[in-house]
Structure formats: C-alpha cells, structure tokens
Structure 1
Amino acid sequence: MAWVTFDLFSALIDSRTGGTAAFDRIAAGHGWDVAGRDLYDDWDARNKGSQKDLPAEPWVTFAEHSRRALAAAYAARGLRADPAGDAAALLATLPDWPLWPDVEAGLTEVARDHRVGILSNVDDELFRRTRAAALVDDDAVLTSERLRAYKPHPDIYRRAAEAGVDVHVPASARDTRGALEAGLAVVRVARPGHRVDPAGPQPRYEVEDLTQLPAVLVSAAS
C-alpha cells in the first residue's frame, strides 16, 4: 500500500471557478466594473508569489498570504476596499468551490489499495471547509501549516516524503516541477488551465482523469 497525496486547489478542486464566482460577488457588492476572473487571476498569482521561498519562521498563514495578495491586487488596480474583509469573505466561500467531476470516483478507486491524502499550501482550518475534507482521513492530510513550508520550496516535498508519502498527484506547473525536483514520485493529472513547466523536469506519468490513476500507481509507486 502506497501513501498517495493530492494537491488540493488544482488536482481536486476547481479553484478558479470557485474563486471567480466569489470575486464576482465581491466586485458586484462594491459596484466595480471588474470581472471576477480577472480579480481571481491577479489575487492567485500574488498569493503564490507571497508564499514562494518564504522563511519558515516567523510563520505566515495561508489566510494572511491571501489578505496580503488581495491588498496588493487592489492597490495595483486602484480599487478602494477593505482587503482584510474581502479576503475573509473570499475564504468563507471555500465550501462552495467545486470538486473536479472525477474526484470522488477517482479517490474511491485509489483508496481501495492505497492511503489517500492531501499535500497543500493551506491552513488546517481552511482545509476543513473544503469539499475534499470529507474524502480523506485527517491524519493523511499534510498542510503547509503542519509541515511549516510552502510549495514549491523543496522542504515541503522532502518533509512529506519523510512522513511516508510515496507518490504525489499535482496538476499545476509549479507543484509538478517542485515535487519532481525534490525527488518525490509524481503522477500528474491534466486539468484545464494548467500545464507542465517546459523549462523544468517532465513527469514520467500523467493521467487525464483520476479514475485512470490506480493502474498507473502500480508503476509509479515502485
């Protein structure tokens, strides 16, 4: 039995759809003529940039990164609002962010022969709000809060491997590259809007759908 972890906000959850809907409501509430998708993309890029290569101490939560990223996005766009309140409103919508259609069936199939877990740049409390939380055991969840490192820093993948993770299933370019460069076994799931970094190492294994994963894990886990 292998321990297989999944990225949360790209491999399991369609975060762009969920986040866009939240930002549409936020923009409408402020009377802004700004597309929710544009706000999401700006916030998401800044959020990832805030996490990149951050020292482990003093620890900065995902929620705080989200607030900082939104404050920077608003400032760059000349939007006047309370970024702390809007970031809290955004994260309050996490229970509504949809799973990709193959997730429940795919994780059920994988769990027949393997331990299913999560490896994510998120806080524990925020993870528990998501629809993915009901699909995995808490002791198989490895968050940045628990591991004290953020993707794509090698430390998070190394600490996951030290904890016993055998295979990681990412979708995004930075997660795929980070896991491969850290030496973790990878099976990438192809998701709309995500691609492999052409300048980085290429995954040996890739699936179009998580229901295809059990057959590939026979080779990847070994």
Structure 2
Amino acid sequence: MALVTFDLFSALVDARAGGSAALAELAAGRGWPVSGTELYDDWDARNKASQRDEPAWVPFAEHCRRALAATCAARGLDADPVADTAALLATLPDWPLWPDVQAALVEVARTHRVGVLSNVDDDLFARTRVAPLVEPGAVLTSERLHAYKPHPELYRRAVAAGVGLHVPASARDTRGALEAGLAVVRVVRPGHALDPDGPRPEHEVDDLGALPALLREVSGAGT
C-alpha cells in the first residue's frame, strides 16, 4: 500500500492549544505577566526560525530550548530555559488532537499506510497522542531524516523513504512539499493560511473525514 504522511503539529495536533495551556501554567508558576497564548506564538515563531536558520542538524528539543530562552530574554522574564523547556515538552501527551483526526486515520489506514512527516525528535513524537494511530515504521522525523522543514532535502528523503502523498496544514510545510515535488492534499486548520507567494495545492479538505474519498480520486500521486 502507498504511504501517506501527515504533519504532526498542525494537521493532527492542535499545537497552539496544547502549547498555550502548558505555557500558561508555566507563566503562572513563575509569576510572569504574560498569557500562555502570547508566549506560545512568540516561542513558536522563534522555534521555526531556529529550525530554518541553523545550518547543522540539532535536536528539535534544542531548537525548543533556544527559542524559549530567546522569548524570555526578549520579554525580560526570569527563566530557566533548560528546566522550563523540559516542563513544556513534558506536557506533549496532553496536547489535543483535532476532532476529526482519530476516525480519519483509521479510515485512511484501510487503503494506505499511514505515517507522519514532522520536525520532531523520536522520543518526543512517542509522547504524543498520534503515536498509537500510525504505523511505527512510517514515522519520518527530522531526527531520522536529519533535515528540517521547509528544506527540500527533508521532502526528498521522505520520497526516497516511500512517501507518495503528504497532508500538511501550515504554509511552510505546504510550500516546502510542493516545491520539492511531493504530492499534497492540504487540510485547512484554524490559524493556518497558504503562503500568498507560494504554490497552491491542487487539493484541499476542510475536514480529514473527507480525505479517504479524495484519496480514491487522486491520480498520479502514488495512491
């Protein structure tokens, strides 16, 4: 069966909800006068920039630490980046799936191998609610591929590993996959919009429940 991969932190997990809740708890414990959502948005932007700009591969957890250290320094917050990042990442099992995920992955798995293509470390992925829903051998992480989205090398290595189609939600993942020549069906998620200067996917779904029927119709994508 053909391999379909999904992005972890936008298509499957509501990372902003989960991360904001975790950072709100951290802020309350530290006495920081800032909301969890503000912290998450700042940290997430710095995290993505770190992944994009670091020329050598380093673990995803290290990008998270650097981003949190920079966020707290910019806001003048008294922080322990190592301990605070560990506390944030320890909450990954609580980060919620989007409501349509579980049923859709079960249905897609009837006709395709179901995997993940994500900027994450293997041990962190194992803590998420997605881990039990996908084929272990179809989990393609930045740790395994030694590249980060949106660099084309990650997508080229994914294709070499057997990925026939990728399901992203974020602008950078959609653009990166398309520009690398990977077949894409984008799922529309709140807070994510296409890059106005980038290519547009031929197929989009508003709910992953529509994906199985679409996959049966898609041609020329290894499915």
> What residue in structure 2 maps to residue 11 of structure 1?
11
Change in 2 beyond 3 A, CA 1:86/1:221:
farther
Change in 2 beyond 3 A, CA 1:91/1:203:
same
Give the 4+ runs in structure 1 shifted more than 3 A. Answer: none
Q: What are the equivalent positions in structure 2 for 1:91-130 lying under 5 Å apart?
A: 91-130=89-128
SS at match of 2:163: coil
> What residue in structure 1 maps to residue 43 of structure 2?
43
In 2: Cα distance, 1:36 partner to 1:54 partner: 26
> What residue in structure 2 maps to residue 155 of structure 1?
153
In 2: Cα distance, 1:32 partner to 1:149 partner: 34
Change in 2 beyond 3 A, CA 1:184/1:88:
same
> What residue in structure 2 maps to residue 186 of structure 1?
184
On the 8 A contact 2:65/2:85 being kept in 1, the answer is: yes
On the 8 A contact 2:113/2:135 being kept in 1, the answer is: no
Give 1:2 shift: 1.8
On the 8 A contact 1:171/1:190 being kept in 2, the answer is: yes
In 2: Cα distance, 1:95 partner to 1:25 partner: 15
Give 1:218 shift: 2.5
Alignment-mate amino acid for residue 180 of structure 1: L
Change in 2 beyond 3 A, CA 1:46/1:221:
farther
**TM value normalised by structure 2:** 0.97
Q: How many residues align?
A: 220
Alignment-mate amino acid for residue 5 of structure 2: T
Q: What residue ranges of structure 1 are gaps of 5+ in the alignment?
A: none
In 1: Cα distance, 2:53 partner to 2:111 partner: 35
In 2: Cα distance, 1:146 partner to 1:53 partner: 19
In 2: Cα distance, 1:214 partner to 1:158 partner: 25
Alignment-mate amino acid for residue 122 of structure 1: V
SS at match of 1:131: coil
In 2: Cα distance, 1:64 partner to 1:136 partner: 25
Q: What residue ranges of structure 2 are gaps of 5+ in the alignment?
A: none
> What residue in structure 2 maps to residue 2 of structure 1?
2
1:138-179: CA deviation from partner (whole Å, max 9, x where unpaired):
101000000000000000000000111000000000000000
In 1: Cα distance, 2:170 partner to 2:162 partner: 22
> What residue in structure 2 maps to residue 20 of structure 1?
20
**TM value normalised by structure 1:** 0.97
1:75 aligns with 2:99: no
1:13-65: CA deviation from partner (whole Å, max 9, x where unpaired):
0000000000000000011120000000000000000000433x4x3100000
Residue in structure 2 matching 1:208, options 206, 209, 212: 206
Give 1:221 shift: 5.0
